[in-house]
Amino acid sequence: MNVIIRNYRSNSTDAEKIQKISQICFSSGLWKTPGRTPEEMERRWEDHSSQTGFSCLVGEVDQQIIAASWYFEITLDQLAEKRGNELRDFVKSISRQDISLVWLGETFVHPDFQRRGYARQIKERVMDEVRDSLAPAILLTRMRPDNAFIISTNKKLGFRPTGISVLSKTKPGVFHEYWYMFL
């Protein structure tokens, strides 16, 4: 099946469908996180989608949304506030003043469509969009070290670990690692 990747449509039911898939992803498999109610997913979506410069791509198969990935531009001060001084200082040490910082929020694929390359395809399109509109840029994200599949995918795309990890806010004993790439 071919995936069609398109821009998120704010005047449609896209947000509702994205939240539903997100809840399914966070309720099963590796991401299984208790408390991911529809209300929690709506709150998380509102938090992300209200960011300045928010942009989202969706993947469709047979006109059904099966994947999403979003990103937004972030300042060094915002990065420090949301992700800590250590990550901000790392970014300052590897970049220069004229470079854009872009936070890759979440990328997920409905469990029925995983392991078919859709996450890679949608991330490649995100990278193309960032290159076209914000380059030069540093793309930042975080990943769980136990998610070997997405780490492998991101390494192939050019992401590198920062060496900085933070404790998960929702899964006790689990850490998230920050990764980056230059575009």
- Between 125 and 48, where is the model more confident? 125
Report pLDDT for 85.
96
Fill in the amino acid letter for 182.
Answer: F
Q: List pLDDT tens digits, range 132-183.
A: 998 899 999 999 888 888 899 999 999 999 999 998 877 778 889 999 999 9
This prediction has a pTM of 0.87
> What is the residue range of 68's domain?
4-182
- For residue 65, give the CATH number of its domain: 3.40.630.30
Counting the structural domains of the chain, the total is: 1
